[in-house]
Amino acid sequence: MSSIPDLGRRDLLKGAIAAGATLAAGAALSGCAMGGGSDDSGPKTAKGKRSADNPFGVVPNSSLELVWFKGGSPLYLADAVNPLFKRKFPKATLKQSSSERLSQTLQPRFVGGNPPDYVDNAGADALDFGALIQDGQVLDLTELYEAPSIDDPDKKVKDTLLPGAYENAITDGKPYALSYFTRAFGLWYNAQLFEKEGWEAPTTWDDFLALCKELKKAGITPYGFAGKNAADYHTTVLLASAAKIGGHEVITDIDNLEDGAWKSDAVIQAADAWAEIGAKYTSKSFKGLIHTEVQLRQNQGKLAFYPSGDWLESEQKEATTKDFTYAMMPVPSVTTADALPAHAIYATVGGGWTFIPAKAKNAPAALEYMRMIMSREGAQAFTKASGWLTTVQGGADGVELPPGMAAAQKAIDTAAKDNSLFETKIQTWYRPLSEETKGAVLQLMFEGGTGRQFAERMQKKADEIKKDSSVKKYKR
């Protein structure tokens, strides 16, 4: 949502898109009793009468509790879908709350066996989704994806989504998340400033370095990200560079915890390239800033390139001046022999972090709420309000996209034509490994580290996780 991966607003990662989605609360969840596992994790409420119009058996006058990450996008989603739910079930009660610290707020409730019905799990303090799945705390959403869609009852919900969206919701053979957001990650800049100065978005590393040098001479910090709470923004572009150099296999090997994956030539070369940017073309002061502070500097013309997902334009709506127009470019090719083309891009089609707890008191209503989210009416209302794109086919029909989002969508469309889209899964599968990337990129970019030091640090953590028998392993 507004912070994925963090899987939420930063979602990168996540993720996150993400959807998140590099979050911080996992060990506590995976290491404690969660109030029962899969043996007794089913919904505890009586269901109403099932029908073609009410496939999950929602009790019309029941209460549905929704917990959102406290960011812009989740609230847009609530505003879009709540009226649809109340229109269909006018006697139902919608209880909702939001928090920036979901792990702190909700972990005691999961431990006590009293979770809410629906969780928008995003932000820097999101619950560890992988640990929740491992502990049997997340509802299998197969019933949702196999249900008839609202728009066309002859089609299943999963068949109304963009290709790959349903598959991205699957972990260990089952769909556990709402696979809803389509998002692109890249380097963002002010299109008006570039046009005024005659600068072009670089596609090669040599051109990128040359432009950074020119920007610095003009008194503009060429590149920057917030070290205090958004180091994962830079993790995304570093791994994008590695993927471009070595191909999809680089990312797959990292996600699969393959021996030596982080010490590959592609990762080291990518890290060395970005280490030079850190040494010459960023501000060390950014290490102590949060994302909104660095983003504001860009809006003020003090920073040229900022790494982020395509939520940035919407998030900065209030701070964007008339002489600032968001544009996004893929991370430049590092070498002349990169395995993936210059237009290859880190992007997510679906995936997600929004889920229904296995012990939700009103799972039928939560499932119907999700079905409404994945209707064209719900998707169009959300995209119109937020500027975010969804996985719903036709979900943006009739909606005029802002320039930055339009550029992101064009980048996704271009890369999709030749299989040049890629993304990582570590932020969802292995929280401690994802967390380690934050410290590693801070060291690389702000403390004068080298590509090999970065790779060795990350490989050490990956090896720890691979050897830890208490951590469930996943494969792509």
Measured CA to CA, the distance from residue 396 to residue 351 in angstroms comes to 19
Q: Distances in Å between the alpha carbon of 43 and those of 40, 419, 469?
A: 9, 40, 30
Backbone φ and ψ of 148, nearest 5°: -65, 140
Other CB atoms closer than 10 Å to residue 97's CB: what's the count? 11
Measured CA to CA, the distance from residue 132 to residue 140 in angstroms comes to 12
- Tokens representing 18 are 């993400």
| Residue 474 one-letter amino acid | Y
pLDDT, mean over the chain: 88
Beta bridge pairs of residue 186: 308
| Residues belonging to the chain | 476
Q: At CA 346, angle to CA 340 and CA 350, rounded to 5?
A: 130
Matching residue, tokens 């995003």: 122
- Tokens representing 366 are 């939560």
pLDDT, residue 350, reads 79
Measured CA to CA, the distance from residue 306 to residue 327 in angstroms comes to 11
What pTM did the predictor assign?
0.74
Q: What is the pLDDT of residues 69-78, one digit of tens each?
A: 986 566 789 9
In the chain, which residues have pLDDT < 70? 1-46, 71-74, 351
Measured CA to CA, the distance from residue 339 to residue 117 in angstroms comes to 45
Measured CA to CA, the distance from residue 334 to residue 203 in angstroms comes to 9
| Residue 394 one-letter amino acid | G
Backbone φ and ψ of 343, nearest 5°: -85, 0
Measured CA to CA, the distance from residue 187 to residue 310 in angstroms comes to 10
With beta carbons less than 8 A apart as the criterion, state whether 251 and 422 touch. Answer: yes
With beta carbons less than 8 A apart as the criterion, state whether 195 and 371 touch. Answer: no
Measured CA to CA, the distance from residue 261 to residue 268 in angstroms comes to 11
| Sequence-distant (≥ 6) Cβ neighbours of residue 317 within 8 angstroms | none
Measured CA to CA, the distance from residue 158 to residue 264 in angstroms comes to 37
pLDDT, residue 388, reads 82
What the chain holds in terms of domains, given with CATH numbers, is 15-180+350-398 (3.40.190.10), 185-345 (3.40.190.10)
pLDDT, residue 162, reads 85
- Tokens representing 427 are 């932020």
Preceding omega of 365 cis (within 30 degrees of 0): no
Measured CA to CA, the distance from residue 250 to residue 125 in angstroms comes to 28
With beta carbons less than 8 A apart as the criterion, state whether 342 and 329 touch. Answer: no
Beta-strand (E) ranges in 395-455?
Answer: 421-422
Measured CA to CA, the distance from residue 99 to residue 213 in angstroms comes to 42
- Tokens representing 245 are 């150099």
DSSP line for 32-99: S--S--GGG-S--SPP----SS-TT---TT-EEEEEEESSHHHHHHHHHHHHHHHHH-TT-EEEEEEE
